[in-house]
Each structure stands twice: as C-alpha cells, then as structure tokens.
Structure 1
Amino acid sequence: MPNKTPLSSSELATLWMTYQEKTMVQRILEYFIEKADDERAREILSTSHQKVVQVVEKLKVLFTSEGAVIPVGFTEQDVNKDVPKLFDNMFDIMFLRTLVQIGTGLHTLHLSMSYRKDLVLLYKELTGLYQSIYGECVEYLQDHRVLSPSPAVTMPKAVEFAESTNYMSGFNLFSDKRALNTVEVSYIYFAIETNVFGMQMMTGFAQVANEPDVKKYFIAGKELSKKIVTDYTKILLQSDIQPPATWGAKATTSKVAPFSDKLMMYCTSLFSNFGLGSNAIGTTFSLRSDLPLTMIGTAKDILTFGQDGGKIMAKNGWLEQPPQMEDRNQLTK
C-alpha cells in the first residue's frame, strides 16, 4: 500500500489484543479437535481452526510490515493434545460458542477504534467469520438439546407506558415487586447461562492446574460463578420463570492438564472481562431498582476476581505487556 498511514496507538493495541485472543483460540481448538468423538462437532472445530490460523498468519504479516515485533501470544507449548478428555461431549462446541460471543464483541469494538481502511475491513471480516461460526454452534447444540432458549412469553397486544415511578420499584421490602420485563429477563438469563458454563470450566481448570495459587484461583472462580447463578436464579423464580439448565458439558475426572496454566489464566481473564461488560449493560437497561443493586454487587465481585488473576499472572511471568507509549519524562532526562 503506497503512502500507507502508520498504525495509530489504538490500532496497534487492537491488533495486539486480537493476536492474543486468536492464538489462544487456535490452541484450544487443536485440543478439542483431537478429542472430538462426534464427526459433526469435529468438522465445526476443524473449519473454525483453519480460519483462525489464517487470521493469525495475516496478523503476523501486519505486524512485520509495520515494523512491530510479533507478540508471543500462545504457542504449541501451551497445549498438550495427548492427555485424557477434560470435558464431556458438547463442552467443546459450547466453549467455541462462548469464545465467538466474546470475539464478536471485541471485533465490533475494535472496528470502532480503527481508522485505516484495511483494518476496518479486517474487523468486518472477523465479525462475519465469528457470526458464521456462532450460527453453526447454536444449530449443533439445539439439535442435541443442550442449549435451552430463554423462556417463552405471551406476545403483547398493545403498547404500554409506565404511569408512575412505581414501575421502577423493587428495593422497598414492603412493596410488591412488579414482574420482570423481557429486557431484564434476557440479561439475567444470559448471566445464568454463561456462569453455569463458567462453573464447569473452572471446575475442569481447577482439577488440572499445576501451580497451587492457580488451582486456588480457579476454585474461587467456580464459587463466584455458583454465587451468581444462585442469586440470579432467585430473581427469576420470584417471577415464576424457569432458569436455564443443560445436561451436557460437564468436567470429567481427569487431572492431567491439556493447557498451560498461563493459557487457562488468560482464558479466565477474558471470560471475566466479558462477564463484567455484559453485566454493566444489564445494569444500564434494568429498570426495576433492586436489579442494578444486585448487578453492581456482582460487578464488584467479578472485578476483584479479575484483579486477583492479573496479580497471579504477573507474579508467574505470564502477563505479556501490550505495546507501550513512549515515556517522554524518561526520554527528556
């Protein structure tokens, strides 16, 4: 590209973040492909892996052409395919579904932080790729009846407006709470669904973690997910709404790690940040006053958990630093 505009700081940052996420997904898929028992699942995983590898190679070319060092990310040393299955069938596709949920959000955000046409096009392509994978995962899981859709609802016959601030009541213990609206249910249901999955992921990671502090951290993550599921389930049941449930995607009894502690910690950090972001959106759009209070408490717990994970990664030398801005104070000394 003649007279190419240099990368801005935000563009370099988003490329760096994308490389970290894509190399992690690449390694996770390598293991799940090796362990897949179902042919259709293996096909979804293999096709996704091929596409992700192509993205990683494209990112390497971008870094090199811009004169930037290629990040380390996650390498073959971060995965061991020759170990027993850590999770039952269906977990692989549920894992991939969650990864592309997170990735789609990141791609959309990164597109809005890009200025060069080639990078805007890159994130548009990545968004389309992940949307396609997401559709395949949902279809597969629904065909196997392990993905529960959100509750049915009677279709509205007329438009209604809140006639008073009573619509937002919920904090007063002496007043009746109104039934949840569909927007509120959607975010609560999503939080439960993702944390049920997260609880199983943390259980498996805790079983195979090598470092004692990492194992302890994953156990804390499992308990946090359990607490969120319990708190949010109570809210649904108060409105006679059935919480989500699944029969699949459980951790096995294996105690041999398929992934490095570094990869599992980064994956947990990514999931925590995703949970924090979706929780913040749910807080914003929940109009019943007791709900934001519950969600703010959840956000505080997730934030603390994420910070603790960052400290563990830094202590063990696993926290790869993003590209730094120039230290002008140091340079002028």
Structure 2
Amino acid sequence: MARHGLTAYGAALSSCTRSDILELFSSAIDLTRELYFKSLNISLEKGLYARPAYIPIPDKVEFIEKKGYLTGWFGERRPINSLEIMHFYENMQRNSVGKALLLGFAQVAGLKEVQNYMISGANIASKVVEVLAHILSEENISESPTYDSEVLKSTTPPFSDKLMMFQVSMLTGMSLGYYGTATGTVARRDLGSKFIRLFLEGVQFAEDGANIMIEHGWMEKPPSSIDEFEIAKSKKK
C-alpha cells in the first residue's frame, strides 16, 4: 500500500500548482515514505521480505548492436534484461498480494454480486501470476512467493462492501498503470504483448466493478468539463 501511495501522491504532486495543495501532497509523500521504511525494516527484521531476483553486475557498459535484440516470437530470443525482470517480478508480486486480498474480501462480502466480483478478480490475479511466473521460470529467474495461505477462514466483514469495492477499484487502476509502464519499457516483442493482454483483461474487470458501484450509488462523480452544446440546446428562446 505504501508503494501505491508513493506512486499516486507523486503523480498528484507533479500535477499541482497551488502552494497549499503542493504542501498537502508533499506531506502525504513524507508520511507514506516513513510508512514504507517502517514496513520494509520490519519485514527485513522478521525475515518476511521477499527479495527480488539477483543478476550479476555488468563489467562494462554495452550498447545494443543488432535489431534481433527486439526479437520475441521468431528467431533466437535473448535473455530478459534487468528492467524486464523488474516488471515481471514486481507485477507478479502485486498480483500475488492482490489475489490474497480478493480471496479475503470474497469471504466477507455481504452482497452476492460483490462476492462474485471478488472471486472473478482472484481468478484473474491467479492467471496473471501464472503467466508472469512462466516467463521467469523459462529464464531461470526466481519467482515471487504467493500469499494464498495467509488468508484466514473468517467470514466476519471488517469493512463494508462499498469500501472493499473502492479499494479494489483503486488497486485495479494502479495495476493498469503498471502494465502500461511495463509495455512501454520492455524491449522484447513477445514480452510487451503479454502486458498488453493483461491490460485489456484488467480494463474489462475495472468496468465490471464500476458498473456494480454505479448500480448501488457508491461511485462519486468527479467534476467534469462543461457541455457547451447541451447548454445551447437547453437555452430558452
């Protein structure tokens, strides 16, 4: 959650000009950074932190010389590079945590349609983990651990369906952003296509969630631009 907060607050800060709003998001970044440091240190002290894959440090700077570096579907494929490893590992880890969260939400959801939505999300996250883990396994790269066993058997809801739907909606939006960043970063064509597919599946899942929230009056409408044509049509003659 702290990682998501740093990403979101950073994007918000870079979009503001008012001094009081800038101060607000600067403070939010400071607090979230402290939360990240604390959670990271506790995880390290207790041996719970899942360390990402390690690759040897290059002896020298190298430049790409052949167009085959981009090859993915046909021909000899090169090993995945450090940026590609990061995107596959981090997105696998996020979906592993997301799956556990969705399974927990499914157990405690009050409405059947919310429960079914959470189960659908858990299934999607499971498929994402499988796809990303397969790529890492092919490259003999360590995979992120899963957290399914951390879900307890409780069915007592700690949160309302509205809050859980909002949380999942926010996380889904962040995931789509991460997939988009990964698509624009990876160089091998076959790897980029993986993230495009995941993005499209995520968009459909997000739309399904938005429909549920709209149906129950849970989605707040953000300010929008003026529809000049509608104003002109409604003007009394």
User: TM-score if structure 1 supplies the norm length?
Assistant: 0.67
SS at match of 2:150: coil
8 Å Cα contact 2:96-2:147 kept in structure 1: no
Tell me if 1:165 matches 2:67. Answer: yes
Q: Over the residues paired in the alignment, what is the CA RMSD in angstroms?
A: 1.6
Structure 2 residue identity aligned to 1:128 = D
Q: Structure 1: which amino acid aligns with 2:155?
A: K
| 1:317 paired to 2:217 | yes
Q: Distance in 2 between matches of 1:283 and 1:249?
A: 31
What amino acid is the match of 1:179?
P
- 1:298 is matched with which residue? 198
Q: Which runs of 5+ in 1 are unaligned?
A: 1-98
- Change in 2 beyond 3 A, CA 1:247/1:224: closer
- Give the conservation status (yes or no) of the 8 Å contact 1:146–1:246: no
Q: CA separation in 2, counterparts of 1:176 and 1:268?
A: 40
Matched residues in 1 for 2:100 and 2:23: separation? 36
Q: How far off its partner does 1:128 sit?
A: 1.5
Q: CA deviation at 1:209?
A: 0.7
SS in 2 for 1:233: helix
Distance apart, 1:325 and its partner CA: 4.0
Tell me if 1:108 matches 2:10. Answer: yes
* Percentage of pairs with the same residue: 28
Which runs of no fewer than 5 residues in structure 2 stay unpaired? none
**Matching residue's letter, 2:173:** N
Following superposition of structure 1 onto structure 2, how do residues 238-253 of structure 1 map, counting pairs within 5 Å? 238-245=138-145, 250-253=150-153
The alignment status of 1:265 with 2:169, answered yes or no, reads no
Matched, 1:150 2:49: no
1:194: Cα distance to partner? 0.5
What is the rounded CA distance, in whole Å, between the counterparts of 1:142 and 1:246 in structure 2? 17
CA contact (8 A) 1:198 1:225 kept: yes
**Cα deviation 1:210-263 (Å, max 9, x = unaligned):** 111111100000000000000000000111011011568711001111100000
Q: CA deviation at 1:146?
A: 2.0
Deviation at 1:171, TM superposition (A): 1.5
1:125-274 pair list within 5 angstroms: 125-172=27-74, 175-245=75-145, 250-274=150-174
Q: Is the 8 A contact 1:147 1:246 kept in 2?
A: no
Question: Is 1:279 aligned to residue 144 of structure 2?
Answer: no
Letter in 1 for 2:152: T
Cα separation, 1, equivalents of 2:135 and 2:117: 27
Distance 1:306 1:282 in 2: 19
Amino acid at match of 1:167: Y
1:261 alignment partner AA: D
CA contact (8 A) 2:93 2:146 kept: no
Structure number with higher relative contact order (C-alpha < 8 Å, ≥ 6 residues apart): 1
8 Å CA contact retained: 2:100, 2:148: no
Quote the offset at 1:323 in angstroms.
2.9
SS of the counterpart of 2:140? coil
Look up the equivalent residue of 2:26 and give its one-letter code. Answer: K
Q: Matched residue pairs, number?
A: 233
SS of alignment partner, residue 62 of structure 2: coil
Residue number in structure 2 paired with 1:39:
none
Shift of 1:326: 4.4
Mapped contact 1:148–1:246 kept (Cα < 8 A): no
8 A contact 1:184–1:285 mirrored in 2: yes
